[in-house]
Amino acid sequence: MSRQGGPVLRHGQNKPEVHTQRTLQVKVRSSENPVRGQDNSGTQKMALLRVYSVGLALLAMLALTGGAEEKGIQTETPHWPTCAGIPGRDGRDGRDGPEGPRGQKGEKGDTGQWTDDSLIAVLQTEVNNLKEGLSKLEKAASFRFFRKAGSKFYMSNGEVASFIDGQSLCSSAGGSMVLPRNEAENQALTNFFSTISVDPPHVYLAATDARSEGTWVDTAGLTLGFLKWAHTEPQNYGGQEHCVVMRKSGEWADIKCIDKYAIICEV
């Protein structure tokens, strides 16, 4: 039995062609215009080349993106589960640091209390000072003229004598011949001497250069640290002036030690 509408297979013929819709369309178009068929083949090649190029570009983009993600994964630090061990011993103490700045001055403390020993020591010192002052006053009061100047007493009877006699007079009274050690004492002695009327108006000082000309020393042999020479003095006139007197003006001059001048003592 034959099928209607189906292909007829004859002897000597090849296997019947099976045409799909696509092949039929291509065949129809190829049979209609062979030259145009060649154009379609070139167009397809160009289309394939474009698809191939686009595919290559997509692969390159995927490779770059994948590479970047891969780098990100490699740089990430893995976190491993940890387990705390036994704590170690404390380390050694470090060296002392440099000294810090000085602090502010503190408040004044409370006044301390006297102890029996310290109070007795202070009272003993005061008693000794009073005794010394009283002794000086008793000696000074034995003279006709006396005056307190600082810690000293100047005293005189207004008499005149040689240097040697004047030293003996003062020593026997419990004092010594006057000798100013500084400008203040020189001025105090000048003031006291101005109240005494004697002639000539000069007073002996306890200094000499008898042992070494020009080197003025006190009765203990110590070189004087204070001098108050008048203009053109000392002269050592005639090579015999080895003692010194103070004038009413307070200035000094060298004289002969055997000459008689006012005597003032001090204690």
Site of interaction with Ca ion (CB under 5 A): 209, 236, 241-242
Report DSSP state, residue 35: H
- The distance of closest approach from Cβ of residue 111 to Ca ion in the complex, given in angstroms and rounded to an integer, is 59
**Residue for token digits 């103490």?**
93
Long-range CB pairs of 139-144 (<8 Å, 24+ gap) are 139/173, 139/174, 139/175, 139/267, 140/267, 142/173, 143/173, 143/265
CB of 242 to Ca ion, least distance (A): 4
**Is the Cβ of residue 209 or residue 266 nearer to Ca ion in the bound state?**
209
Tell the smallest beta-carbon distance from residue 129 to Ca ion (Å).
40
Which residue has the closest beta carbon to Ca ion?
236
Task: Write down the least CB distance from residue 199 to Ca ion, Å.
Answer: 24
Whole-angstrom Cα distance, residue 129 to residue 202?
33
159 or 218: whose CB is closer to Ca ion? Answer: 218
In the chain, the amino acid numbered 138 is E
Nearer Cβ to Ca ion, position 185 or 209?
Answer: 209
Peptide bond into 180 cis (omega under 30): no
In angstroms, how far apart are the furthest CA atoms of the chain? Answer: 197
* Shortest distance (Å) from residue 265 CB to Ca ion: 24
Smallest separation, CB 235 to Ca ion (Å) = 8
Is-contact 72 64, C-beta < 8 A?
A: no
Question: Are 230 and 186 spatial neighbours (Cβ–Cβ below 8 Å)?
Answer: no
Q: In this complex, which beta carbon is closest to Ca ion, that of residue 255 or of residue 265?
A: 255
Report the residue number, 140 or 243, with the smaller CB distance to Ca ion.
Answer: 243
Calpha distance 37→41 (Å, rounded):
6
Residue type, 204: Y
Task: Judge contact between 178 and 185, C-beta under 8 A.
Answer: no
For Ca ion, the closer CB: 185 or 233: 233
Give the nearer residue to Ca ion in terms of CB position, either 128 or 236.
236
Least distance CB 141 / Ca ion (angstroms):
36
Question: Taking the CA atoms of the chain, what radius of gyration do you get in angstroms?
Answer: 68
Q: Is 74 helix (H, G, I), strand (E, B) or coil?
A: helix
Residue with tokens 């049979």: 31
